[in-house]
Homo-oligomer: A and B are copies of this chain.
């Protein structure tokens, strides 16, 4: 008999004396609307509002948390349906789904398991655990469910209680889909400005993007000055489309300005296809600083998440493209790296910098001390591998004592997996309820304060950080 899947009402809440307090706190936050102000859901999903394809495409193939775990046990990306760049036909979705179901035990103890159980039970109406035996029945059941009109993406926005969601869009995106959507669903889905591809001059195809930027902005990007002007123009277009923030994924947090002459020299060299790795790195750090300059002008919240060696396995990257789970964190430094930026903008009115990390060692050593003194700095929610029950608990324990609660940015779900958004917010609210409840039963926080802080962490701080 298949094992019944029924997420426990107290899941991820603490045991013992704190449970009751945590239940009450969670009850007070669980129905607050969702602000999803840092995410990677494809804008096309909302623009077309087409039904989702099939269970494998919905829950397995695009979720690198899921595929990386299956790959780690020797299941090839091909058997998981990852599309090859060479156009080889991917595996049959039903076979992919069977592979996933047969390996359901691999996710024990991981956040993917919590999110998926939540999605199965509370979104898709699935009542048994995946298994080799149950795979086909689940496939058919989920297929039927996602064909229903109330499972269209826009309908789910309402069902999920999403007040506002932002996508992440290349600086060279023309925002046409956002324009269409703004007409249909005004003020519900906004873009985020991501200039990463434009500021890393040594990546293949960069000069094409630089040209594309110039065309879009109607500015000649053959010079560094033109490049800056074009970026400013695109930021303005994003602002007009409702954007609240920029998003920067860099290898390091270095935000060190160059002289204009030096920046121009490197830019010009890159246009000729002749740029050293050192120069390209220096230019990227310079552009991070320039992003702060521009944010101080136009008010876009600057979000930085450094410290990941992308595409660690070149063969996987060559065969399947970027972001296939072979991104591995490295030690990251913030104190010295951000000093020039904070020296100039750390106390600047209206400038806000949200810092993320996948290196926990900086929580108490660098991030909390920075956020705990510079008005510009807020700490983003635990990112990526750390967006997990113990990861979120450690984050609170490591930053709160130095930075307090009010230098946090609030929760962001940071996901491409649209169906997981309510699960992620719910899990975060549970962990915060548990953290606060533990403080209450240890008489380190009064219960009335705990309720207020819980609401602030779940909703008010995100509003304050991104929408005030």
- Contacts from A to B (Cβ < 8 Å): 8, 10-18, 68-69, 71-74, 105-111, 114, 309, 312-315, 325-331, 333, 335-336, 339, 342-343, 346-347, 349, 358-361, 364-366, 368-375, 377, 385-386, 388-391, 394, 397-398, 400-407, 438-439, 441-445, 449, 452-453
Nearest 8 A/B pairs, CB to CB: A8-B443, A15-B441, A388-B401, A11-B443, A74-B375, A68-B373, A109-B400, A15-B17
Q: Using A72-B403, A330-B335, A336-B330 as known contacts, say yes or no to A108 and B370 having CB atoms under 8 A apart.
A: no
From B365, B373, B394, contact of A361 by CB (8 A): B365
What would be 20 A-B contacts, judged by CB atoms less than 8 Å apart?
A10-B442, A11-B443, A12-B444, A71-B373, A71-B375, A72-B377, A73-B406, A74-B375, A106-B406, A108-B404, A313-B343, A313-B347, A328-B335, A331-B361, A358-B365, A361-B365, A364-B386, A368-B385, A385-B401, A388-B402
Residue of B nearest to A314 (CB): B343
From B14, B110, B366, B400, contact of A328 by CB (8 A): B366
Q: Using A109-B445, A309-B336, A449-B108 as known contacts, say yes or no to A365 and B373 having CB atoms under 8 A apart.
A: no
Inter-chain CA distance A453–B46, complex, in Å, is: 41
Residues of B within 8 A of A14 (CB): 442
From B309, B328, B401, contact of A389 by CB (8 A): B401
Residues of B within 8 A of A364 (CB): 360, 385-386, 391
**Are B401 and A391 in contact, with the CB atoms below 8 A?**
yes
Inter-chain CA distance A73–B71, complex, in Å, is: 45
Inter-chain CA distance A73–B391, complex, in Å, is: 26
> Which has the most chain B C-beta neighbours within 10 Å: A11, A400, A402, A443?
A402
Inter-chain CA distance A326–B405, complex, in Å, is: 19
Residue of B nearest to A9 (CB): B443
Q: Using A333-B331, A336-B309, A361-B331 as known contacts, say yes or no to A404 and B109 having CB atoms under 8 A apart.
A: yes
Residues of B within 8 A of A328 (CB): 335, 366, 369-370, 373
Inter-chain CA distance A404–B330, complex, in Å, is: 20
Shortest CB-to-CB span from A441 to chain B, Å, is 4
Inter-chain CA distance A326–B346, complex, in Å, is: 11
Residue of B nearest to A13 (CB): B442
Residues of B within 8 A of A403 (CB): 72
Residues of B within 8 A of A8 (CB): 443
Q: Using A330-B336, A365-B361 as known contacts, say yes or no to A390 and B397 having CB atoms under 8 A apart.
A: yes
Inter-chain CA distance A333–B325, complex, in Å, is: 20
Inter-chain CA distance A314–B385, complex, in Å, is: 35
Inter-chain CA distance A319–B348, complex, in Å, is: 16
From B107, B361, B443, contact of A404 by CB (8 A): B107
**Are A343 and B372 in contact, with the CB atoms below 8 A?**
no
From B68, B336, B372, B438, contact of A15 by CB (8 A): B438
Inter-chain CA distance A436–B402, complex, in Å, is: 25
**Are B16 and A15 in contact, with the CB atoms below 8 A?**
yes
**Are A108 and B72 in contact, with the CB atoms below 8 A?**
no
Q: Using A369-B329, A444-B114, A444-B389 as known contacts, say yes or no to A108 and B405 having CB atoms under 8 A apart.
A: yes
Inter-chain CA distance A434–B386, complex, in Å, is: 22
Residues of B within 8 A of A377 (CB): 72
Inter-chain CA distance A372–B329, complex, in Å, is: 12
Q: Using A385-B369, A390-B397 as known contacts, say yes or no to A109 and B439 having CB atoms under 8 A apart.
A: yes
Residues of B within 8 A of A309 (CB): 335-336, 339
**Are B109 and A372 in contact, with the CB atoms below 8 A?**
no
Shortest CB-to-CB span from A381 to chain B, Å, is 15
Inter-chain CA distance A71–B328, complex, in Å, is: 36
**Are B71 and A444 in contact, with the CB atoms below 8 A?**
no
Inter-chain CA distance A402–B394, complex, in Å, is: 15
**Are B375 and A73 in contact, with the CB atoms below 8 A?**
yes
Residue of B nearest to A446 (CB): B3
